[in-house]
A and B are shown apart, each in its own frame.
Chain A
């Protein structure tokens, strides 16, 4: 073969992309042709040069963080988007879940007539906050940002504790109403689980009291401290939620 013909296959040879016959043909030619061998030699030099780190741009950390937090945001989005309603698998899941939730709700209503009203409001508010995909009005992991945000919006100043080192990261806060009274809501995350902590002024004269209940598959811990009513709700298991309760009190 002539050099010009060899040249049109030489990259395929170099990259081991040719069949054996063609490959051997080119190898044979290279033995006797200095010019074509020089091309291969240059390719090797080029390849070595490219393996230098300066040719590879690693993604900046800020970009990686952005993408990871976007993925986190997706995690907290509701599953039942309009689009996925047309997906039969999701629809049947949704219907089953709805059925189970309604059954549990009905059973709980009968079993729990006293505190039923307020916990129901808490469950509803918790579900709404998850469904909106955006459970916070002030988005910050800094308690010095979250605490002042409540100023002027409600008539008391709720304690805001950052429990990140205990695994419960503060992600923000919002205002909600329970029994027509304003409540400060602190939003925490434990792994993929969201915890909403409702804080409102208490009518209760009892100093300390802890009630544990469960509704629609959500665990709720209610306690009173320093004239304020606290209700923590999450799909976390009850033991973890108790730890959250204890760590919150410790940090006060």
Chain B
């Protein structure tokens, strides 16, 4: 790298290591693979820094991470779409009157965590980019290389699976608790 690139790399890429790791961690669902992918992504980013055309360094880093992840997990991501069949939303909009009850306990946080991990990766990655990174549809569409309409429908499906799962879990636990 030329010295100028190194200085720019420090400004544009280094501040996003946490975001990079968070994204990789949710994709891979374990610490070692996440750290490994982020390291490789940074090496690539250094190597190909001259092809970086400005803009959000974070988004560029996400694109690289995603490429590495899908290359490594090509077979896994296609065959094992991790969905637990129980997650299929049955009747999406027949919620209990006060769903807020669901999230009041700490263990529900863990449940939601688990549910997000089990969400198929094509929904999970979109949820992370939107909910945790606050990217807009256009940015997400660029990173995931899908049309904006698909971003919206995947978000919709992902969010509904998650809310529905929690409603169900709460109802089940609630019953057990009463017995």
Contacts and interface: CB of A to CB of B under 8 A. Distances in A.
A74 B162 contact: no
Contact of A64 (B17, B136, B162): B17
Contacts of B43: 70
B102 interface: yes
Contact-residue size bin, chain A (C-beta under 8 Å from the other chain): 35 or more
Interface in B121-157: 130-132, 136-137, 148, 152-153, 155-156
Contacts of B38: 59, 63, 67
Contacts, number: 122
A175 interface: no
A42 B95 contact: yes
Nearest to B130: A15
B64 to A, nearest CB: 13
Given A63-B35, A67-B39, A79-B2, A41 B99 contact: yes
B93 A12 contact: no
A10 interface: yes
Given A71-B10, A74-B46, A79-B2, A56 B39 contact: no
Contact of A17 (B14, B46, B102, B152): B152
Given A45-B99, A58-B18, A70 B42 contact: yes
A56 B156 contact: no
Interface string B1-39: 111001001100010011011100110000100110011
Contacts of A43: 159, 163
A88 interface: no
Contact of B102 (A38, A39, A45, A90): A45
A77 interface: yes
Contacts of B176: none
A46 B163 contact: yes
B68 interface: no
A74 B6 contact: yes
A118 interface: no
A107 interface: no
Contact of A47 (B17, B93, B131): B131
Nearest to B17: A59
Contact of B34 (A57, A70, A74, A77): A57
B113 interface: yes
A62 B32 CA distance: 12
A21 interface: no
Contact of B103 (A7, A49, A63, A84): A49
A8 interface: yes
A48 B26 contact: no
Contact of B136 (A17, A48, A60): A17
Contact of A75 (B6, B20, B22, B116): B6
Given A56-B18, A74-B1, A75-B1, 19 more contacts: A3-B93, A9-B152, A11-B155, A15-B130, A15-B137, A15-B152, A17-B137, A45-B163, A47-B131, A50-B132, A54-B113, A56-B132, A57-B21, A59-B38, A62-B35, A68-B14, A71-B6, A71-B14, A74-B6
28 contacts: A3-B93, A11-B155, A15-B136, A15-B137, A17-B148, A17-B152, A39-B93, A41-B100, A42-B95, A42-B159, A43-B159, A45-B103, A46-B163, A52-B109, A54-B113, A56-B18, A56-B132, A57-B26, A58-B21, A58-B22, A60-B31, A60-B35, A63-B38, A67-B17, A67-B39, A71-B46, A75-B1, A77-B1
Report, nearest first, the 9 A-B pairs whose CB atoms are least far apart.
A59-B21, A42-B163, A57-B25, A35-B93, A11-B156, A59-B17, A38-B95, A50-B131, A57-B22
